[in-house]
Amino acid sequence: MATANPAANAAVYDRAGFAGSAANVMTLQGAIFKTSVLMAILVAAASVTWSRMLDSTPAAAYPFMLIGGIGGFIIAMVTIFKPAASPITAPLYAACEGLLVGAVSAAYSAMYHGLVVQAIGLTLGVLAALLIIYASRIVRATENFKIGVVAATGGICLLYFVEMILSVFGIHIPFIHQSGMLGIGFSIAVVVIAALNLILDFDFIETGVQRGAPKYMEWYGGFSLLVTLVWMYLEILRLLAKLQSSRD
């Protein structure tokens, strides 16, 4: 069953096969460690971009956003189709996404003081809460659950794709960007769906451990989780900006 996150697709394990020896088997502890390393790389890259943007205008963040966004996308595609390369490509992806996240965060911080700290706190809080919920088996990644999250995420991706095409002609879908009740409601829905994708990512990593996937899939599991975390963080930033704008 494919998950909503294209990186966390069960077919990846079919391509990866099985570990050749017990010493080369993917473990949960290893996946957690690799994920922590990737997050540290992302934060380090984001802090470099952030520090350079402190005295700049929001428009100065665009080159970093472009480099990080395009570079991250290309590396992500390579990682998805070549999981064995993930020990190299996953850290590179984290660095590129750090550039993107740092630049976007700097732009939002220039417009709304304190917004980034709130977004980071909420992202980490949601991650911790859903990890506890998943570990406690309060919510399970059943097939129906997966289908629902995949369908909802696919709908959002399609909507964003249509918005991107229309923006070329100067047309925008209002509620995606506006801070009215409809716009805030849309962003809340997107954040919830992004958060639910974390459950699928946890299940994806656990499945790899149970299947005896090769050890390099620990890096791939961290990469897939990072994809969702970055998306959720950016959507939380957008939501908080809309809420702040509606109060001003």
Q: Tell me, what's the pLDDT at 140?
A: 84
Q: Tell me, what's the pLDDT at 2?
A: 38
Assign 3-state DSSP to the chain and report helix, strand, coil percentages, each to 5.
80, 0, 15
Q: Tell me, what's the pLDDT at 1?
A: 31
* Token pair recorded at residue 52: 């350079």
Q: What's the gap between Cα 93 and its chain centre? A: 11
Q: Tell me, what's the pLDDT at 57?
A: 67
Q: What is the mean pLDDT of each run of 10 residues along the chain (248 residues)?
A: 50 58 81 95 92 71 85 93 93 96 89 91 94 89 87 90 87 81 91 93 90 90 94 94 83
Q: Tell me, what's the pLDDT at 169?
A: 84
Helices (H) and strands (E) in the chain — how many of each? 9, 0
Write out the H or E segment, with its range, that includes residue 74: helix 62-81
Q: Tell me, what's the pLDDT at 200?
A: 92
The b/e string for 12-23 (b: 16+ C-beta within 10 A; e otherwise) is: bbeebeebeeee
Say how far apart CA 33 and CA 26 lie, in whole Å. Answer: 12
Name the residue with tokens 């740092």.
102
Say how far apart CA 203 and CA 209 lie, in whole Å. Answer: 10
pTM (2 d.p.):
0.88
* 25 backbone dihedrals φ, ψ, rounded to 5°: -90, 140
